[in-house]
Structure 1
Amino acid sequence: MSVYTQLTDDQFAAFCSSFGVSFKRAIPITQGIKNSNWFIQTTDDHDGQHSYVFTLFEERPPEDIEKMAVILNQLTGKLPVAAPLALREGHEKPSDSQDDKRYVIRYEDKAITIVPCLAGAHPKQTTPAMCHEIGAALAMLHETLQALQPAQDYGVPLYPWGEVSDREMQFMPGDEAKLMRDIWQAYSNLPLTSLPKGLCHLDMFADNTLWNLQKDNETLTGLLDFTEVSVEHYVMDIAITINDFCTTWGDAEQSETVNFDRQKMNAFLQGYESKRALGEDEKRALPVMLAKAAVIFWLLRLNVIYYNRTEGRTGDNIMVKNPDLMKRLAAYHWSHVEKAQETVFVLLNSESNNYVEGIFSDITQAEQARATLNDNSNVIIKEYALDQLV
C-alpha cells in the first residue's frame, strides 16, 4: 500500500531481527491507500525475490493489530491466509493477550508486523468462476470466525462514516448529496436488527486476494488485509466484495468506466450459499446494501484525500483512488433499487404456455431463483411495471 512513514535500512534490519528475519532489502509497495508496506528481501532470497511483507499500520492502534493476529490464526488451515510472525523470546506479551506469543512491535505508537508472502498474483480481471470461489471463501470466513466470542472483543470499531458524510456533503453538488442521503435513508429503513451479524472482513477487494491464474483454472491462493475486520451485517460484507469482484473498472485511458456484471454476482451468490444459506431478509436487503457499500467506499476515498491534504502527505509513494468511480457504482445500484420499487420480475416458462414459475420484487432474487430450477433453459425473466396494463 502507500508508504507514509520512512524507515532506514538499519531500522528495517533491527525490526526484522526481532522476528527472526535476516534483512537484505525493503521494497516499497505503493498499491492501496491506508498503511505503509514493503516487501522484505532476506539474505537467503535471490535477486528479484522477497519472502515477507512488512507493514507499519498508520491508523489502527497496536491493540487492534494484536486482535487481527488472533483472527488470522483462527482462519489458518481453513482458508489461505498468512498469520503474522511471532516475536522471538525476550519480547513481553501484552497483559491482555490471549496467546503466549506476541505478534506486534510498537514504533512511535504504531504497530509493525511481518507476514510470509503467499504465492499467486492479484487478478487484473475476474471471471464468474473466481466470483463463485471468493463467495464460498467469504462464507467460510463468516462461519469460521463465529468461534471467536464475544465477537466484539475481536473486531475493531466501525469507522464513523456518518461524520465523514456530514463533512463531505457540505461541498458536494446537490445531485450527489441527494444520492448519498437517499441511499443512507434506505439503508436506515432496512430491518437491520433482523439481519445476521458477526466478524466480517469488510475490504475483500480483488487486490486483497491472490490467485493461481492458470487459464480456465483460476485458484484462490491468498486472502489479505484483515485490518478492517469488524462486527457487521454479513450482507454488508457480501455487498462490499460483490461491488469489486463483479465490476470491471476501466483505467484512465478507458475513461475510467464502471461496468457491473450481474452474471458474476449470481455466481458469487451461488458460491456463498454453497457454504452458508442467505436468509430472506438478507436477500431483500442486498440491493440497498450494494448501494450503501459503494457509498462507504466513495466516502473512504474522499476521506483519504482529506487526510492527505490536512497531513501534507505527498510524493510518488502516495496512491489516491478516484472516488468518482464509487459514486457512479452507487448511482447504478440506486437506480435498480428505485426501479424495483415500481417493478416486479416474473419467471415465465416458454415451453409451458408461459407458466409462471415465480414473481419477485427485484432482479437479483429472480435471477437466483431461475438458477435453482432443474431445467431453466426455457425460463425467461420478464419485467412488469406495477399499476399498469400489460
Structure 2
Amino acid sequence: MAVFTPIELSDISAWISSDFDIGQALDIRGIHGGIENSNFFLDTEKDGKKQEYVLTIFERLSAEQLPYYLDLMRHLANKSIPVPKPLENKQGQILFTLKGKPAAIVSKLPGVSRLAPEAKHCALIGEYLAKMHLASSDFKHTQENLRSLAWWQKTVPQVLSHLSDAQKELLTSELATQEQFFTSEVYALLPQGASHCDLFRDNVLFDPQGTSDGSQDQLGGFFDFYFAGTDKWLFDLAVTANDWCLADNKQDLDPARFKALMDAYQAVRPLSKEEQASWPLMVRAAALRFWISRLWDFYLPRDAQMLTPHDPRHFENILLSRKAI
C-alpha cells in the first residue's frame, strides 16, 4: 500500500457523517507499503464506541473492474473466511468516488503481520487458502487475472532495455516456456476459480490471542484482494509458497515451511494428478510474474508518497532457484 492521492480528514468528514452509519470520522492515516493504491486507516466513533476501517483509493483499477474484487471479499466474508468486508453506505453501495477516483471502505482485520513466519504460520496459510478456494467455488463473477500471461507479454518488451544480456536471456526464455505451458492440455485441466494471486506475508494478519511471542497465533485474515482474479488455484498456491516458504538464503524453499504449507492445504483440498505434475512449471510462473512486475515498478515508477519499489533481483533469484527444482 502507498499514497498516490493524499486525503485529509477535512476531505471526508462530511461524507462519512452523511453517507454512512458509522458515526463521526476522527482520524485518517496513510498506510506505508505496497505499490498500487492509496490506502488509509480510518478511525470513527459512534455512540462512544471507536471503530477502525481501511479506506482505499484505486489508482489503476477502473470502476468497471472493481465490483469483482469487492463482491469477492463480501462473498468470502459471508462464508466465514477471514477477509475484509466492504462497508455499505446508506443506499447499500460498496463502491464510491473520492477525489475523482474509485474508492471503497472495508473492515479492518485484527492482528499483526508475521514477516518471519514459522512452519505453524505456513500451515495456517495453507489451510485457509484451500478453504478460501473452496468457498469461492460458487462465486458467480469471473474476471481474468490482470497480471497473467497477456500482461507479461505486453510488459517484458518495456523492461528489456534495462537488463543485462544474461537477464534478457533468462526473462525471454522463461516467458517462452510459460507461453507453451499456458497453452498445453495439462494446463487446461487444472482447477480454477477466484484466487488472491498476491498472498504475501504482508497481506496476512495473525491474531496473537493475548500473547506477544506468536505462540498462540490464530489467523486474523487475508487482505489486499486487488490483484485477485479467476486463475488456476495452483498458481495461487505457488505465489504463496514462493513468499511464505523461503529458506534463510531468501531464494530456495525451506523444507519445513514448504511441507507445512502443502500438507495443510492438501488436507482441505488435495491436488489433482495434473496439478502435481504441473507444480515445477507453475512455481516458476509465479516467480516470473513478480520478477516482471518488480522490474516494471523499479524501472518505470510512478510518483507517490511513502512509496519504495521492491528490488527486482529478489524474484530473479527465486526464478533461478525454481528452475533448478
TM range (shorter): 0.7 to 0.9
* Amino acid of the structure 1 residue aligned with 2:222: L
Q: In the superposition, relative to structure 1, how do residues 248 and 30 fare at CA in structure 2: closer, same or farther (>3 Å)? A: farther
Deviation of residue 14 (structure 1)? 3.2
Counterpart in the other structure of 2:62: 61
What is the alpha-carbon distance in structure 1 between the residues aligned to residue 173 and residue 259 of structure 2?
Answer: 26
Equivalent of residue 291 in structure 1, options 284, 287, 301: 284
Counterpart in the other structure of 1:262: 255
Q: In the superposition, relative to structure 1, how do residues 185 and 243 fare at CA in structure 2: closer, same or farther (>3 Å)? A: same
Equivalent of residue 128 in structure 2, options 118, 134, 137: 137
Structure 1 length-normalised TM: 0.74
Q: In the superposition, relative to structure 1, how do residues 45 and 39 fare at CA in structure 2: closer, same or farther (>3 Å)? A: farther
What is the alpha-carbon distance in structure 1 between the residues aligned to residue 46 and residue 202 of structure 2?
Answer: 27
Counterpart in the other structure of 1:233: 232
1:201 aligns with 2:196: yes
Deviation of residue 56 (structure 1)? 0.6
Equivalent of residue 269 in structure 2, options 262, 268, 276: 276
8 Å contact 2:252–2:322 — kept in the other structure? no
8 Å contact 1:104–1:112 — kept in the other structure? yes
Which gives a bigger RCO, structure 1 or 2 (Cα 8 Å, sep 6+)?
Answer: 2
Deviations 1:13-59 (A, max 9, x none): 1343323332111111011111101111224699xx86111111111
What is the alpha-carbon distance in structure 2 between the residues aligned to residue 127 and residue 314 of structure 1?
Answer: 33
Deviations 1:337-367 (A, max 9, x none): xxxxxxxxxxxxxxxxxxxxxxxxxxxxxxx
Deviation of residue 314 (structure 1)? 5.0
* Amino acid of the structure 1 residue aligned with 2:34: G
**SS at 1:106 equivalent:** strand
**SS at 2:136 equivalent:** helix
Q: In the superposition, relative to structure 1, how do residues 62 and 14 fare at CA in structure 2: closer, same or farther (>3 Å)? A: farther
8 Å contact 1:13–1:23 — kept in the other structure? yes
1:39 aligns with 2:38: no
Counterpart in the other structure of 1:343: none
What is the alpha-carbon distance in structure 2 between the residues aligned to residue 172 and residue 303 of structure 1?
Answer: 12
Deviation of residue 75 (structure 1)? 0.9
8 Å contact 1:295–1:330 — kept in the other structure? yes
What is the alpha-carbon distance in structure 2 between the residues aligned to residue 52 and residue 201 of structure 1?
Answer: 21
Select the structure of larger CA radius of gyration.
Answer: 1
Deviations 1:251-297 (A, max 9, x none): xxxxxx54531321121111111111111121121122112211111
What is the alpha-carbon distance in structure 2 between the residues aligned to residue 287 and residue 242 of structure 1?
Answer: 12
* Amino acid of the structure 2 residue aligned with 1:133: L
8 Å contact 1:291–1:334 — kept in the other structure? yes
List gaps (5 residues or longer) in structure 2: none
Correspondences of 1:1-390 after superposition (within 5 Å): 1-17=1-17, 18-21=19-22, 22-43=24-45, 51-76=52-77, 77-89=79-91, 101-149=92-140, 151-152=141-142, 154=143, 157-158=146-147, 160-190=151-181, 191-213=186-208, 214=211, 215-247=214-246, 257-308=250-301, 311=302, 313-315=303-305, 317-336=306-325
What is the alpha-carbon distance in structure 2 between the residues aligned to residue 166 and residue 296 of structure 1?
Answer: 14
Deviation of residue 229 (structure 1)? 1.6
Q: In the superposition, relative to structure 1, how do residues 87 and 155 fare at CA in structure 2: closer, same or farther (>3 Å)? A: farther
Counterpart in the other structure of 1:375: none
Q: In the superposition, relative to structure 1, how do residues 219 and 12 fare at CA in structure 2: closer, same or farther (>3 Å)? A: same
What is the alpha-carbon distance in structure 2 between the residues aligned to residue 248 and residue 14 of structure 1?
Answer: 49
What is the alpha-carbon distance in structure 2 between the residues aligned to residue 8 and residue 26 of structure 1?
Answer: 7
What is the alpha-carbon distance in structure 2 between the residues aligned to residue 8 and residue 211 of structure 1?
Answer: 30
What is the alpha-carbon distance in structure 2 between the residues aligned to residue 179 and residue 158 of structure 1?
Answer: 19
